[in-house]
Structures are given as structure tokens and as C-alpha cells.
Amino acid sequence: MRTPLIAGNWKMNGSSRLIEEFARALEGFPLPPTVEVALLPPFPYILEMQRALQAGGVKIGAQTLNPLRSGAHTGEVSGRMLKELGAEYVLVGHSERRRLYRESDEDVYDRLVAALNEGLKPILCVGETLEERDAGDTERVVLRQVGKVMAPLEPEQRPLVTIAYEPVWAIGSGRTPSPEQAQEVMATIRRYQGGFDAKLASGLRLLYGGSMNAQNAQELLAQPDIDGGLIGGASLKVDDFLSICHAAG
């Protein structure tokens, strides 16, 4: 059985005060034991969050990493440093990184391999733009993004990757695909992986991301190929995020 994962991507948001709010809320409202929960704050909050929320069962992650271990790369952070701070998960290939920072599939691959080499668990984000969906290109785009990264990995590395399907047009927009539309793409990703390795496909954890919130989480999470969520905006609201965690439990 696949353990559900709810991961909150704070993007360039959040504060020490919000970490405290989460810590207080978790004291009175523990997380369901059947769900894995992670929060991915901006780098400067990782250690503070780790100290404040680990006891409440929250795992900590980061939103990106540099593919190198160290060196003259002003402003960058390596996987080795994230690991040292106690991070367990790291996003790679988020659509905002692909679009705003021009990360290619090759860049995403390099980051994902660097994460694996440091013992971090990568969450690979994939998803189509609205133009690509309207042109009937969703499957081709998503499977290209998955294939370019997963295919060159060593067979023993592939089960360590979680894939988040995030239609770009649903991120931060308040629009979501219907649960059936999301399910269709996610079943396609699982089938595609099954073409290489049936055991990998059945164990592969697939998250849905894009305007998931306390109202729509339950029906999205009820789909057979949706094993959790990557949550942006709603992860900044303590009650909403915790109710999504409980919907997954």
C-alpha cells in the first residue's frame, strides 16, 4: 500500500510566526498517523521549522537545490546543506522554477540526481500549460517530463522518487481539473512507468497539485491514482492545511 503524502510548498512566503501557529495547532490537533506530512519552507526557515514541528510529526523539505555540492555559486544552496539542516524532501522541476528560472528537463534531472546522492527524497513536479492542454498535448508533455528524468536513473533509484502532477494552469489560479481529469493523467503516468517496471508503477507515489484546498481535497484524494497532494496557497493557512491532511487520513 502507498502511504499518502501531503506536502505544503510555502514558496517565498511564511514567517517565524506562522511556524509557531503550526506548532500550537499541532499540540491540540495531532496529525493522522496514516498520512505522511511535510512542509517545504524557504531555506532560512528550515532549521527553525525542523525544531518546532518535528515532534508534531511534520517532515521538512526544501523547494529546490543546486546540483553541485559546494563551490563559487553565490546565492545557491546544495543538497548536502539541506540534509545537514534535517531536510528530508526536496522539490525539483516545479513549474515556477521551469518558467521563471528557465530550468530545463536536463537541469531538473541534475537536481534530482544530486538530491538522491545526498539521501534526500525528491518530489518531481510535472504538468502541462493551458495552451498545451488545449492543443491536446497534455499526455505528450507530461510523459516527456517524467521520461527525461526517470528513464536515465538507475533502477534502484526510481522507487525513491515521488511525482507530483501539477497542471500549470491550476497552480495558484483557484481552478482545478475535475477529479476524473486529474485521475486520467495520473493513471497515464503510472501506466507509463508500468511499461518499464510493474513493481515500480504499483509503488510509485503520485501527488496532485494545483489549487487543492480544504473543500476539494477529499474528492481529489479519493481517486485511485492520487496518493496525496502538493499544496501551495492552502499550506499557509493552518486550519486548511491540517484539514487537507485529515482528508488524506
Grid cell digits, residue 135: 492543443
The letter for the amino acid at 157 is Q
CB of 65 to ligand PEP, least distance (A): 16
Among 46, 92, 212, 220, binds ligand PEP (CB under 6 A): 212
Which of 5, 9, 244, 247 is the binder for ligand PEP (CB under 6 A)?
9
Selected binder of ligand PEP within 35, 126, 233, 241 (CB under 6 A)? 233
Annotated active-site residue 94? The verdict is yes
Out of 27, 73, 166, 180, pick the active-site residue. 166
Instruction: Name residue 123's beta-bridge partners.
Output: 91, 162
If DSSP codes are grouped into helix, strand and coil, which group holds residue 64?
coil
Taking CB positions, which residue lies at the least distance from ligand PEP? 232
> What nine digits make up the cell of 109?
534531472
| Identity of the residue, 122 or 233, whose beta carbon is nearer to ligand PEP in the bound complex | 233
- Say whether 166 is catalytic: yes
Residues 68-127 binding ligand PEP (CB under 6 A) are none
Using an 8 Å Cβ cutoff, are 60 and 50 in contact?
Answer: yes
172 contributes a contact to ligand PEP by CB under 6 A: yes
Indicate whether 232 belongs to the interface with ligand PEP (CB under 6 A): yes
In Å, how far from its chain's centre is CA 160?
Answer: 13
Q: How far apart are CA 237 and CA 233, in angstroms?
A: 8
Please state, in angstroms and as integers, the Cα–Cα distance from residue 165 to each residue in 31, 115, 142, 168, 185, following that order: 24, 19, 8, 9, 8
128 lies in the site for ligand PEP, by CB under 6 A: no
Catalytic residue among 94, 96, 103, 118: 94
First and final CA of the chain: distance in angstroms? 13
**Residues making contact with ligand PEP (CB under 6 A):** 9, 166, 171-172, 209-212, 230-234
Catalytic center residues: 94, 166
